[in-house]
Structure 1
Amino acid sequence: MPLSSDQSVNETAGTLVKTLQGAFGTPAGYRPAHAKGRLTKGTFTPSQEAATLSTAPHFNNASTPILTRFSNSTGLHAIPDTDPNANPRGMAVRFLLSSDGHKHTDIIAHSTSHFPMRTGEGFLQMLGAIGGGTIGEFLAQNPSAKAFVEDPKPAPESFGTERYFGVTAFKLIDREGKETFVRYRIVPEAGYETLSEEELKGKGKDYLFEELEARLKSGLVSFKLMAQVAEEDDVTDDNTVHWPEERKQVELGTIEVEEMVGEKESKEEQQRIIFDPIPRVEGVDVSADPLLDMRAAIYLISGKERRAAASTA
């Protein structure tokens, strides 16, 4: 996983990492965003239609082992699950394509279909407006940021009853080279369930992680991996532009979360693992959305810092 070939992207990504760490006081060894999280193990089973859209191995093999990370927002590694700032929640899925775990591809999603800005530079300006006390003016001038802030983000009943959205577009490529632009959605098979403000008051600071562990002791937690399919004139290079909700959705397969990774092992692995927004696998390719290159650089810079902190701990 290399840094961007565009040095300006790397410089902005490095500034964003430092800005987020400073805003939250994030300790070494933790992510500057979505710092609080746990890893789980499971299996992905593709649908028959997935193989007609893409030659990617995880869409063609009978099944693929996966690692999944569920997380809260912010760089606060101990943020209570009940804190409104813990939304949006995150779900990252790693498809393990080799037995040694070195070959893989990832999907990164969060529990809102919105993202505040199209570019990393724009997001950095938004953070500056928050820190400078001018966020109201910034939101008035940037409708996408306003939509992200105002999008309802109720607390989920469970990580297993939350919906997760991949905001950037990708190309699925079939055996004839046909490209289909899609955005991923991860939909809970148990149904989408949230808590009222009154119900949330009775929950503990770690209720989501405790609930997930308890839920997995009594069975699997399953999701459908869906693809919202773009039509010819849909915008594919701007994550802030939504496609019409009536666009076709295709089921790509089933994500089955089977067990929690032990807390000690999870903490160590989370310092090591670097999820990658760029697919880097045959049969799936990037769109021209600039957020992909920026997020990949941010994750790599942050990941290298976490690994360095782990090696000196």
Structure 2
Amino acid sequence: MADPVQEAVDAMEKHTGTVQGYRRAHPRGLVFHATFTPTPEARPLTAAEHFQGPPVHTLVRFSNASGSPHAPDRGSDRQGAVLGLAVRFDLPSGKHATWAAANIPAFVARTPEEFLQVTRAQRPNASPHPLRMLGYILTHLHALPGIRGIVGTKPAPSFAHCQYNSVHAYHLVDAQGQRRAFRYRWVPSAGAATLSPAEARKRPEQYLLDELRERVSRERVTFNLVFQLANPGDPTHDATRPWPEDRQKIPAGQLVIDSLYEDQRESERFVFDPTGVVPGIELSDDPILHFRAKVYSESYNRRSSETKPEPKPADLRQ
């Protein structure tokens, strides 16, 4: 019987333009030092240690979600790319908690089998195969919110002007053991913004990481963490279904990007697994969330045993 994790990573390598030695997804990225400060409103909702006291050091990785490190930062002058913000909280206990979010409202698959199907509907140039993708959509109408989110993404002027969503549900667990389902989002303090087609046309194919590096060198880049709390009956098992916007939202903390991480090659050893939770936060019953952990692990195992191509001179800073 075929191993679904092996099948998924094989499909990513075949259909999304991956390069040996790189991550199988989100391969083009930069890691920054950051500081996370929780809010008083978050403390009673969860016993997780990074929400209980003073600020904690955090590593943040911004990335282009395409499978290829050479993919452009926009699909066209009117369509942007899926971008990611991943965090690793360095906890007072010496442990780490890790999350990964993206600038889309929903995922495009709700089971590992569907993930394999939609991956096989891609082409190595980071564009969908029209007939395969149409067939997937017609037989998986529940994926439309995620697909609309990807197609509707506009070119971004900066990582600092995007909102990043957890997509998956989790559970907050307070000191008394009470559980509450939630999703989270990182809201940019600079405000959400997009480029017009004319503005996008003036940008090089890959510009977002250079722009962010320069921005962080001269000003604070901050994001506000917001918990979206579920109502009874809201699904926690389906990453393709966003919850209604009228659900209660709690300000949970602020993330301040401080400086570029000193050794970007070393940072490639970090795995920003979205299932890396600690007591006080629990995983939901979302099968894709649990599956992602296994895919991340297999991706790490493969790239760590490969020889990564030497970077071009222009890429040495990354």
Look up the match of 2:287.
Answer: 290
Match of 1:279 in 2: 276
Pick aligned residue for 1:88 from 57, 82, 93: 82
1:245 is displaced (CA, Å) by 0.7
Distance 1:138 1:220, change over 3 A: same
Q: Describe the shift of the 1:134–1:23 C-alpha distance in structure 2 as closer, same or farther (beyond 3 A).
A: closer
Per the alignment, in what secondary structure is the counterpart of residue 16 of structure 1? helix
Mean Cα deviation higher: 79-88 or 166-175: 79-88
**Corresponding residue for residue 245 of structure 1:** 245
Instruction: List structure 1 segments (4+ residues) > 6 angstroms apart after TM superposition.
Output: none
1:20 to partner: Cα distance: 0.7
Residue deviations 1:174-194, cap 9 Å, x none? 111111110010000010011
Q: Which residue of 2 is the match for residue 175 of structure 1? A: 175
Q: Distance in 2 between matches of 1:311 and 1:74?
A: 18
Q: What's the Cα RMSD here?
A: 2.1
Report what 2:304 is aligned to: 307
Scaled by the length of structure 1, what TM-score is found?
Answer: 0.90
Equivalent in the alignment of 2:65: 73
Candidates 121, 136, 139, aligned match of 1:138: 136
SS at match of 1:122: helix
- TM superposition shift of 1:27: 1.8
Q: Which of 8, 13, 28 pairs up with 2:20?
A: 28
Matches of 2:208 and 2:132 in 1, distance apart?
A: 33
**How far is the alpha carbon of 1:137 from its aligned partner?**
2.2
Give % identity.
33
- Alignment size in residue pairs: 300
| Distance of 2:197 and 2:212 partners within structure 1 | 20
Compute the displacement of 1:98 (Å).
Answer: 5.1
**Distance in 2 (alpha carbons) for counterparts of 1:153 and 1:144:** 19
Write the distance in 2 (CA, Å) between the matches of 1:83 and 1:267.
27
Task: Tell me which amino acid in the other structure corresponds to 1:195.
Answer: L
Q: Which amino acid aligns with 1:148?
A: G
Q: Among 45, 49, 54, which residue is 2:37 paired with?
A: 45
**1:157 match:** 157
1:97 to 62, 80, 91: 91
Q: Is the 8 A contact 2:22 2:308 kept in 1?
A: no
Unaligned 5+ segments in structure 2 are: 124-128, 311-318
Q: Which has the higher helix share?
A: 1
Q: Secondary structure at the match of 2:305?
A: helix
- Following TM superposition, by how much is the alpha carbon of 1:267 offset from its aligned partner in structure 2, in angstroms? 2.7
> Structure 1 pair 118/64, CA: closer, same or farther in 2 (3 Å)?
same
Q: Structure 1 unaligned runs (5+)?
A: 1-6
CA shift, 1:134, in A, is 2.6
